[in-house]
């Protein structure tokens, strides 16, 4: 592990529920398209061992390095291969792994706590690091560049559409006013603007940080998160064995809707979760980021 990589701090959400949903057994081949800190994948690799395979994919090279080092240190000879890729390109990873079909897919969407804790990437509101927000730092454009370039309407639309932020126009105007004096660069710059635009509690009844929705919206746009999910949903059933399972954890209503509709409309799938599985109060207390998690599961029943 390179020196600056700290051990994972990510706590997997809906852990037992997700593992149960995948019907794991020795010999199975499972793709985890969002490896993150490797929490779910470690349990998957152990359950499919020794004859199966866990394939872990992530767009963040640091996540891959961290998990590779974590698993190597365990010295368990885990059946695990990792790939640096967008999960929507899982088919290329399968080809490289010499696998044609799999018994399960897992996606645990969004951001990991390791990315949030890395103050150089702009995910945490109070960091002085560049407001980058890319999972894959080798692809696309950092968020600060977009905010200094987009027209006010575009900024407002993104914040409204992906953040469901009612103060989107006010925030967009404040961004444009601020950048005319000095370009926006850090996460702290943007968080300060959001906080000045949205009144503090008790008016902000949910008491979430006023920057939350704006950061989420920009992250979704910068990484084209909905585009990746749509591309995955269009093709994954082709690669799933009969009886194979797909489990997707989403944290955003737009993602959850895409998953729900794709599962329901597929002639190849039987939906296992009529309603999404959500975290218990105990899990939410232990791990607050599980509060908005929704797990949907389906099984391939037809070719």
Binding mask 215-254 for ligand SAM (x = CB under 6 A): -------------x--------------------------
* Residue choice 71, 83, 135, 215 for contact with ligand SAM (CB under 6 A): 135
Contacts of 189 (CB under 8 A, 6+ apart): 131, 144, 178
110 binds ligand SAM (CB under 6 A): yes
Residues 203 to 222 in contact with ligand SAM, rule: CB under 6 A: none
104 binds ligand SAM (CB under 6 A): no
Q: Kindly state the smallest distance separating residue 134's Cβ from ligand SAM, in Å.
A: 9
What is the spatial distance between Cα 295 and Cα 293, in angstroms, rounded to a whole number?
7
Nearer to ligand SAM, 37 or 52 (CB): 37
| HSE-up of residue 177 (Cα within 13 Å, Cβ side) | 10
Q: Which long-range contacts (CB under 8 A, 24 or more apart) does 93-101 make?
A: 93/31, 93/55, 93/57, 94/31, 94/55, 94/239, 97/53, 97/55, 99/29, 99/53, 99/55, 100/239, 101/29, 101/239, 101/240, 101/241, 101/244
* Residue choice 71, 80, 83, 87 for contact with ligand SAM (CB under 6 A): 87
Determine the interface stretch with ligand SAM among 107-115, 122-130, 177-185, 207-215 (rule: CB under 6 A).
Answer: 107-115
Determine the interface stretch with ligand SAM among 58-66, 162-170, 180-188, 262-270 (rule: CB under 6 A).
Answer: 58-66
Q: Kindly state the smallest distance separating residue 140's Cβ from ligand SAM, in Å.
A: 11
Is residue 68 within 8 Å of residue 101, measured between CB atoms? no
56 binds ligand SAM (CB under 6 A): no
What is the spatial distance between Cα 268 and Cα 240, in angstroms, rounded to a whole number?
10
Nearer to ligand SAM, 106 or 269 (CB): 106
Backbone angles phi, psi at 209, to 5 degrees: -60, 135
Backbone angles phi, psi at 296, to 5 degrees: -120, 140
* Residue choice 24, 31, 36, 56 for contact with ligand SAM (CB under 6 A): 36
DSSP annotation of 302: -
Determine the interface stretch with ligand SAM among 34-42, 93-101, 116-124, 167-175 (rule: CB under 6 A).
Answer: 34-42
Nearer to ligand SAM, 37 or 142 (CB): 37
Determine the interface stretch with ligand SAM among 54-62, 143-151, 158-166, 180-188 (rule: CB under 6 A).
Answer: 54-62
Which ranges constitute the DSSP H helices of the chain?
15-21, 39-48, 61-74, 90-97, 113-117, 143-149, 152-163, 168-181, 187-197, 212-222, 225-235, 253-265, 281-286
Determine the interface stretch with ligand SAM among 29-37, 116-124, 195-203, 269-277 (rule: CB under 6 A).
Answer: 29-37
Q: Kindly state the smallest distance separating residue 35's Cβ from ligand SAM, in Å.
A: 6
Collapse the DSSP code of 299 into the 3-class scheme (helix H, G, I; strand E, B; otherwise coil) and give the result: strand
Nearer to ligand SAM, 63 or 167 (CB): 63
What is the spatial distance between Cα 198 and Cα 213, in angstroms, rounded to a whole number?
11
Residue ranges that bind ligand SAM, judged by CB under 6 A: 10, 12, 33-34, 36-40, 57-60, 63, 86-87, 108, 110, 112, 135, 228
């Amino acid at each position: 592990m390179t020196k600056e990589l700290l051990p994972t701090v990510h706590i997997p959400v809906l852990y037992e529920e997700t593992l149960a949903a995948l019907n794991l057994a020795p010999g199975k081949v499972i793709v985890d398209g969002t490896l993150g800190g490797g929490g779910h994948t470690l349990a998957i690799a152990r359950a499919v061992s020794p004859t199966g395979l866990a394939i872990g994919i992530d767009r963040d090279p640091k996540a891959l390095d961290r998990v590779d080092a974590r698993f190597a240190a365990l010295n368990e000879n885990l059946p695990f291969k990792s790939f640096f890729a967008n999960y929507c390109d899982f088919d290329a990873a399968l080809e490289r792994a010499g696998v044609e079909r799999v018994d399960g897919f897992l996606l645990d969407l969004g951001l990991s706590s390791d990315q949030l804790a890395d103050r150089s990437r702009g995910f945490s509101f109070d960091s002085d690091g560049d407001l980058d927000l890319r999972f894959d730092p080798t692809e696309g454009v950092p968020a600060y560049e977009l905010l200094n370039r987009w027209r006010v309407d575009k900024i407002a639309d993104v914040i409204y559409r992906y953040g469901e932020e009612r103060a989107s126009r006010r925030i967009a105007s404040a961004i444009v006013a601020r950048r005319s004096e000095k370009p926006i660069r850090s996460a702290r710059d943007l968080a300060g603007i959001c906080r000045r635009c949205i009144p503090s509690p008790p008016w902000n009844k949910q008491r979430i940080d006023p920057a939350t929705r704006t950061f989420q919206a920009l992250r979704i746009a910068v990484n084209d998160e909905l585009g990746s999910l749509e591309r995955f949903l269009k093709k994954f059933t082709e690669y799933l064995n009969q009886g194979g399972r797909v489990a997707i954890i989403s944290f955003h209503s737009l993602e959850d809707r895409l998953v729900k509709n794709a599962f329901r409309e597929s002639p190849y799938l039987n939906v296992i979760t009529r309603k999404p599985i959500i975290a218990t109060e105990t899990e939410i207390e232990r791990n607050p980021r599980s509060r908005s998690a929704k797990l949907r599961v389906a099984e391939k029943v037809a070719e």
